Amino acid sequence: MPMAPHGVTSRSLRTQHASLSDSVASALRRMIISRELQPGQRVTQAQLAAMLDVSTMPIREALLRLVAEGLVVAEANRSFSVTNTTADSIRDIYWMHAVLAAELTGRGWDNRTPQLLTTLAEQHETYAKSLGRGTQEDLFEANWRFHSSVHRAAAAPALGLMLKNTLHFFPDFTLPVPGWTELASRWQAGLLEQFTHGTREGAEQVARSSVITASQLFIDSYWIDPAS
């Protein structure tokens, strides 16, 4: 029986392997959703391993997971094909996310405090300052902090986990989708207004409509044929 390297337990090795498989699965999802891997395209474990610079084992585990999720189909000779994901499928994913985000936002509104309002205002100001000079990654991180503050206030971990699971099917948020960064700024401002002077229903509507708008901006950029 092979021994683990000194100072490394078999459990930690399993954790590292699982983390790599998770990372590979996330990368492949993003490649499929953003159409870097085209609908109907056939790929092999070896091709993807070379593309992502990993061994074939985490590739195989990730692909089997994506088979279960309906994003790829197992073929003969250890190859796989990308399923024909449609724009409507993308909308469905965003719709699920919008429903959960609206409920978490509503619960966050119920639990709002002066400290939360101060935090959200500061985070929105940070995001606004980054709009003109920050990188895409900077803007993502600033927007994510605003999201996290709202969701922590909701105090609904089960809903938060369900929301996180929908993100597996989302594209990379650092993609330069035209309109996304401006939409995030409007979403933050609208939510801050509703949390300060508005209603629970108003806050939910801001969250829901922003997610649906984000989905259409993404579809317009990656799923609509410019020639059509």
The CATH class, in words, for 87-222 is mainly alpha
**Lowest-pLDDT choice from 36-50, 128-142, 169-183:** 169-183
Looking at the DSSP assignment, which residues form a beta bridge with residue 44? 79
- Give residue 209's pLDDT band: very low, low, confident or very high (50, 70, 90): very high
Of residues 120 and 2, the one with the higher pLDDT is 120
User: H/E/C letters for each residue in the chain?
Assistant: CCCCCCCCCHHHHHHHHHHHHHHHHHHHHHHHHCCCCCCCCEEEHHHHHHHHCCCHHHHHHHHHHHHHHCCEEECCCCEEEECCCCHHHHHHHHHHHHHHHHHHHHHHHHCCCHHHHHHHHHHHHHHHHHHCCCCHHHHHHHHHHHHHHHHHHHCCHHHHHHHHHHHHHCCCCCCCCCCHHHHHHHHHHHHHHHHHHCCHHHHHHHHHHHHHHHHHHHHHHHCCCCCC
Phi/psi of residue 72, nearest 5 degrees? -135, 160
Q: How far apart are CA 153 and CA 23, in angstroms?
A: 28
Q: Which CATH architecture has domain 10-82?
A: Orthogonal Bundle (1.10)
User: Per-domain residue ranges for the chain?
Assistant: 10-82, 87-222
Looking at the DSSP assignment, which residues form a beta bridge with residue 80? 43, 74
The pLDDT assigned to 199 comes to 98
Tokens of 21: 């498989």
The pLDDT assigned to 76 comes to 78
To the nearest 10 degrees (0 to 180), the angle between helices 136-154 and 87-110 is 50
- Give residue 206's pLDDT band: very low, low, confident or very high (50, 70, 90): very high
The pLDDT assigned to 152 comes to 95
- One fold for 10-82 and 87-222: no
What's the whole-model pTM score?
0.74
pLDDT digits (tens, 9 = 90+) for 118-166: 999 999 999 998 887 867 788 888 999 999 999 999 999 999 999 988 8
Q: Give the residue-averaged pLDDT of 181-188.
A: 95
pLDDT digits (tens, 9 = 90+) for 47-102: 999 999 999 999 999 999 888 888 899 987 778 999 887 888 888 989 999 999 99
